[in-house]
Structure 1
Amino acid sequence: MREYDWLADHGLDEAFCLTFVRDPDDTAVLCRFGVDPASLQSLTGVDDIAELPFEHVVVAGRLDGWVFVLEENGFEGSRPEVLRAVSAGTEAVSVYTNVNANRRFGHAVDGVLRTGFDPSSPVRRWGDAPDALVPLMRQVGLPVSGDGGWSGAGLDAGLRLADVITGVHLDGARLAGPLTTGRLVPLLSDPPERPTWMLREDAELLTAITSAPPDLLRRVVAAEARRRADGAGISGEPVVAEALAEIDRGGGRTVPDNSGLGRLLRELGYRSDIAGTSLALPTQRGRMTDAERRQAFARHSAGLAVQAALFPDQVRAAYEVLGWVAPARDPDRVARRAQLLAELRG
């Protein structure tokens, strides 16, 4: 799409996420997006992103009543959790692609994902109103029915569709500034709707989870969440201790992103991302020792277990809290799996 050729000029054409939010305030949008408010800062232009100390590069700017959020090699704007947050009381559109040509288009209104699809295979759609955009999809050349084959229009048509829905267009010249950026601390993920593929491969454990009496399952999940929090050294955090006590009492709730517990869990995830990057990129290895990386991964995993143990649906909680032992290959995991099976069977 010639109108977006400028993405290649900035090295963004192969992996980016572009999100538009109908809102006049770019700082408010970034905060709902997951950016730490204390880290917000101005940029004179997109070329300055190379100097940013952040793990996730995200920049935003105002555009005729809308705010655009551009992520370099990022995907946050494609997540349902983020689209719900930024579209609350308004409207949002996002277009995402990565180096593996995994693509996603999303349109959310008033905190609800109305339409989502892969721009390369747009006949399969999801959301509360999966067919709401069909006339506009046809207008930009996206097939809306048929055998589900690959669409040659793909990403270009997805970008055109975003322009049509919003009535605005992000030109490369707009990236000369002014822009706003900050440290992205990703929003918490929704409870898993289904078990991971690894847990699905472990029919014995999955059956034990789904057939356990509710009270027994709750106790097993609570005990495992506490065990992992203790092992990772986070159970002494006041907000974690409070959550574990609530779990022991049988309480269930969703953890708000900006609650004390939510902020801690997000920071643990951020630290885990740093550990992952330092492990994957040889140039980043010196940022952490192996012990620091192991600690970051363990603390994040334990935090996810505490969050999941609070889910009102205990089966979905168990997918996250107990499913880590599948597949059981190393001795510690094999032993823990056997213990969990015994506990689930009473």
Structure 2
Amino acid sequence: MNSVTAHDYAWIRNSPLFDHLLEWGYTLTFIRGRSPHGLLRAVDAEPRGTGEGTAGLAEAEAAHREEVDGDEWEDSYVVGAFDTPGEKGDWTVVLGFDGGLGLPGVEKLSEGGRVVVHSSNSGKPIHLFDWYEDGVLRTSFEGPSARHGSSPDELVPLLREVGFPVTPEGEHDENAPDVDRFDRKAAVLALTERLTGVRVTESLLRDATYELGLVPEQLAEK
């Protein structure tokens, strides 16, 4: 049984990569049941070749920003996708320096599989977590004591195990051990690993070969 907790992800606070993600805003999506190529096709992404590591992904996003310079309403962005082993087979991991916009049509992407997403925007920090199962949003939250979805309380035991300061009823627990030193982002990464089996490390994201795609502002009608 996977026993990972927030403590296993304490390294993110000394990570230049995560500093960059939090500064610029990001979405990290984990998808079971779709290949990187199939996922990018499903979101109508325009192929942009491959990128070596997060440096290559950032270069592709910067090049796109130059293309649309001056268009303040431009919400398209470049994402990178790669596959990695996890629970019940391979998962596709998708990273975007997208300001927390996220992939379009995530509910549909989860049909027949599972999707786990966490993100941060680049303004006043909003940190979101979403778990989808077979086309349904099961649990979503910004703060873990204010959950919604079709089964908002299902993850409460896992929330407590990975380190979120919540009571058995899912309320905020001000008396939880280490509550003053609680690292919500580290706990979210631990929760994500519990649901996907994918251990995120700096090298996993930094050194992957990404299949790149330009995600449009909205999906085409089909």
By the TM > 0.5 criterion, same fold? Answer: yes
User: What is the aligned partner in structure 2 of residue 335 from structure 1?
Assistant: none
Q: CA deviation at 1:180?
A: 0.6
Q: Judging changes above 3 Å, is the alpha-carbon distance between structure 1 residues 147 and 20 closer, same or farther for their aligned structure 2 residues?
A: closer
Q: CA RMSD in A?
A: 2.6
What amino acid is the match of 2:27?
C
Q: CA deviation at 1:141?
A: 1.3
Moved over 4 A (4+): 147-151
User: What is the aligned partner in structure 1 of residue 138 from structure 2?
Assistant: 114
User: What is the aligned partner in structure 2 of residue 299 from structure 1?
Assistant: none
User: What is the aligned partner in structure 1 of residue 82 from structure 2?
Assistant: 61
Q: In the alignment, does 2:168 pair up with 1:159? A: no
2:154 and 2:12 mapped to 1: Cα distance? 25
User: What is the aligned partner in structure 2 of residue 102 from structure 1?
Assistant: 126
| 1:208-250 Cα distance to aligned partner (Å, 9 max, x none) | xxxxxxxxxxxxxxxxxxxxxxxxxxxxxxxxxxxxxxxxxxx
1:34 and 1:74 mapped to 2: Cα distance? 19
User: What is the aligned partner in structure 2 of residue 304 from structure 1?
Assistant: none
Q: CA deviation at 1:31?
A: 2.5
CA contact (8 A) 2:189 2:200 kept: no
Q: Name the TM-score, length of structure 2 as normaliser.
A: 0.73
User: What is the aligned partner in structure 2 of residue 49 from structure 1?
Assistant: 57
What amino acid is the match of 2:203?
A
What amino acid is the match of 2:171?
G
* Helix, strand or coil at the partner of 1:115: strand
Q: CA deviation at 1:6?
A: 7.3
1:30 and 1:8 mapped to 2: Cα distance? 27
Kindly report which structure 2 residues correspond to 1:1-346, keeping only aligned pairs within 5 A, or say none.
1-5=9-13, 8-9=16-17, 11-14=20-23, 15-23=25-33, 25-36=35-46, 39-52=47-60, 53-55=63-65, 56-64=77-85, 65-77=90-102, 82-99=105-122, 100-118=124-142, 121-144=143-166, 145-146=170-171, 152-174=182-204, 175-187=206-218, 257-259=220-222
1:178 and 1:128 mapped to 2: Cα distance? 35
Structure of greater relative contact order (alpha carbons < 8 Å, 6+ residues apart): 2
Q: Which runs of 5+ in 1 are unaligned?
A: 189-256, 260-346
* Helix, strand or coil at the partner of 1:47: helix
Larger Rg computed on CA atoms: 1
Q: Judging changes above 3 Å, is the alpha-carbon distance between structure 1 residues 147 and 33 closer, same or farther for their aligned structure 2 residues?
A: same
CA contact (8 A) 1:6 1:172 kept: no
Q: Which runs of 5+ in 2 are unaligned?
A: 1-8, 66-76
* Helix, strand or coil at the partner of 1:173: helix
1:5 and 1:153 mapped to 2: Cα distance? 9
2:83 and 2:156 mapped to 1: Cα distance? 28
- Of Structure 1 and Structure 2, the greater strand share is in 2
1:187 and 1:110 mapped to 2: Cα distance? 22
User: What is the aligned partner in structure 2 of residue 205 from structure 1?
Assistant: none
What amino acid is the match of 2:153?
D
CA contact (8 A) 2:58 2:97 kept: no
CA contact (8 A) 2:33 2:112 kept: no
Q: CA deviation at 1:5?
A: 5.0
